[in-house]
């Protein structure tokens, strides 16, 4: 990582479900079921001439392993018992391995652990996320974390972060030294064709007259907080980038690096969850819509839940990779090689 990248302020927009939380309160999924659903989205095959499902890869991956492959999830929908019966049984050992890694050590904690229907206690927030916070703190980085979710887990996630930063996590007691305030009041982001409106407590901001307002707001936030994004708007836009969680990027502001981490970020703009908008002109208040491919692994990270569970350095590596790539991105912007790029949607 270059010295320049290491000095930038990091604004980390982080999804919850299947990103740092292996559960989904809206769907009523515990870790066991959430892991099954994720595996169904990351395993690939096709239906044969006889109508039976045929696997085209024996290893999960975020992208199709070959042309013509579709995920089991895309073909058959949500499968909470994916590895328990049917074609998904061949991934049962992988499921069991990662479920064991999620088990909570020692006595249960009201905010930091979660119990499933089988009486087992698991990490509510993945250790790899706390490892990221710990490493950034140890490296003296200036950063903020903004949870961005369509779900209803924000209050609990923020309470869990407060407990961890109070030194209550058995694996990360040093987090008590991290002087980051946790804002427990969840905010709300609502989108329409005319504007994006953000509310949190007495705060209310809109992009109607100035598209930079929310960029400036997020760039200046301190500590840890969270906002519920607008699921209905995403659905009305056919789950495409156009209706996704808005993210503003200003390549002319070299002191700030916004990174969005979400398991539903995909290179297909017709099927992705973040709406990136780039201020191509210096000082402009009217951003252009950017394709996911322009910012993938630069400002957009597609979470691999299996790696996030099995590798405690996973999120740290993702952020480092983005920082390294951001330097090159800014250089391309400065040279004008991206300045003519169109809407991309």
Asked if 82 and 132 sit in the same domain, the reply is no
How many domains does the chain divide into?
Answer: 2
What is the structure's pLDDT at 343?
A: 43
Asked if 151 and 130 sit in the same domain, the reply is yes
Mean pLDDT, the chain, integer = 93
Report the C-alpha gap between 154 and 224 in whole angstroms: 11
Asked if 195 and 310 sit in the same domain, the reply is yes
Q: Per-residue pLDDT for 187 more than 70?
A: yes
Q: Per-residue pLDDT for 319 more than 50?
A: yes
Asked if 69 and 179 sit in the same domain, the reply is no
311 dihedral zone (left: phi>0; alpha: psi -120 to 50; beta): beta
User: For residue 208, what are its two tokens?
Assistant: 């109607």
Q: Per-residue pLDDT for 258 more than 50?
A: yes
Asked if 12 and 38 sit in the same domain, the reply is no
Q: Per-residue pLDDT for 268 more than 60?
A: yes
What is the structure's pLDDT at 17?
A: 94
Burial of 340 (0-12, 13-18, 19+ CB in 10 A): exposed
Residue 104 located in a structural domain: no
What is the structure's pLDDT at 333?
A: 86
What are 76-116's pLDDT values in tens digits? 998 999 999 999 999 999 999 999 999 999 899 999 999 98
Instruction: Please tell me the pTM assigned to this model.
Output: 0.94
Residue 120 located in a structural domain: no
Asked if 186 and 51 sit in the same domain, the reply is no
List the beta bridge partners of residue 278: 249, 288
Within 10 A of 293 (CB to CB), how many other CB atoms are there?
A: 12
Residue 212 located in a structural domain: yes
Asked if 187 and 301 sit in the same domain, the reply is yes
Residues 6+ apart with CB under 8 A from 271: 239, 240
Asked if 213 and 275 sit in the same domain, the reply is yes
Residue 345 located in a structural domain: no
What is the structure's pLDDT at 339?
A: 52
The pLDDT of 167-184, averaged and rounded, is 96
Structural domain harbouring 59: 31-99
Asked if 43 and 159 sit in the same domain, the reply is no
Residue 113 located in a structural domain: no
172-179 long-range Cβ contacts below 8 angstroms, 24+ apart: 172/127, 172/130, 172/131, 172/133, 172/134, 174/134, 174/137, 175/130, 175/133, 175/134, 175/137, 177/137, 178/133, 178/134, 178/137
Tell me the CA distances in angstroms from 89 to 22, 36, 43, 98, 169, one per residue in order: 20, 10, 12, 15, 34
Asked if 88 and 192 sit in the same domain, the reply is no
Asked if 45 and 10 sit in the same domain, the reply is no
Q: Contact at 8 Å (CB) between 143 and 257?
A: no
Report the C-alpha gap between 261 and 297 in whole angstroms: 10
Asked if 223 and 323 sit in the same domain, the reply is yes
Categorize the per-residue pLDDT at 118 as very low, low, confident or very high, splitting at 50, 70 and 90.
Answer: confident
User: For residue 337, what are its two tokens?
Assistant: 């090689």
For residues 286 and 26, the model is more confident at 286
Q: Which of 117-121, 131-135, 138-142, 146-150 has the lowest mean pLDDT?
A: 117-121
Categorize the per-residue pLDDT at 338 as very low, low, confident or very high, splitting at 50, 70 and 90.
Answer: low
């Amino acid at each position: 990582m270059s010295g320049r990248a290491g000095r930038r302020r990091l604004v980390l927009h982080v999804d919850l479900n299947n990103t740092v939380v292996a559960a989904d309160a809206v769907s009523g999924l515990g870790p066991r079921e959430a892991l099954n659903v994720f595996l169904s989205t990351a395993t690939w095959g096709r239906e044969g001439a006889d109508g039976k499902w045929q696997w085209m890869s024996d290893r999960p991956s975020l992208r199709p392993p070959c042309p013509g492959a579709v995920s089991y999830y895309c073909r058959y929908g949500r499968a909470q018992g994916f590895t328990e019966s049917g074609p998904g049984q061949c991934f049962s050992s992988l499921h069991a391995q990662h479920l064991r890694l999620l088990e909570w050590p020692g006595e249960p904690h009201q905010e930091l652990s979660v119990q499933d229907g089988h009486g087992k206690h698991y990490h509510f927030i993945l250790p790899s996320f706390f490892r990221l916070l710990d490493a950034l703190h140890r490296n003296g980085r200036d950063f903020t974390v903004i949870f961005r979710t369509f779900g209803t887990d924000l209050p609990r996630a923020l309470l869990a972060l407060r407990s961890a930063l109070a030194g209550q996590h058995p694996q990360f007691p040093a987090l008590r030294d991290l002087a980051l305030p946790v804002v427990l009041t969840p905010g709300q982001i609502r989108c329409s064709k005319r504007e994006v409106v953000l509310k949190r407590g007495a705060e209310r901001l809109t992009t109607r007259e100035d598209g930079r307002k929310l960029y400036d707001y997020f760039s200046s936030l301190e500590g840890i907080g969270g906002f519920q994004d607008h699921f209905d708007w995403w659905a009305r836009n056919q789950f495409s980038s156009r209706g996704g969680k808005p993210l503003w990027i200003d390549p002319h502001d070299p002191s700030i690096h916004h990174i969005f981490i979400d398991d539903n970020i995909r290179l297909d703009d017709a099927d992705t969850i973040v709406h990136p908008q780039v201020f191509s002109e210096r000082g402009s208040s009217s951003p252009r819509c950017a394709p996911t491919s322009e910012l993938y692994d630069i400002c957009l990270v597609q979470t691999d839940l299996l790696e996030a569970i099995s590798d405690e350095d996973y999120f740290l590596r993702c952020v480092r990779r983005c920082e390294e790539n951001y330097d090159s991105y800014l250089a391309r912007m400065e040279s004008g090689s991206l300045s003519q790029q169109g809407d991309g949607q």
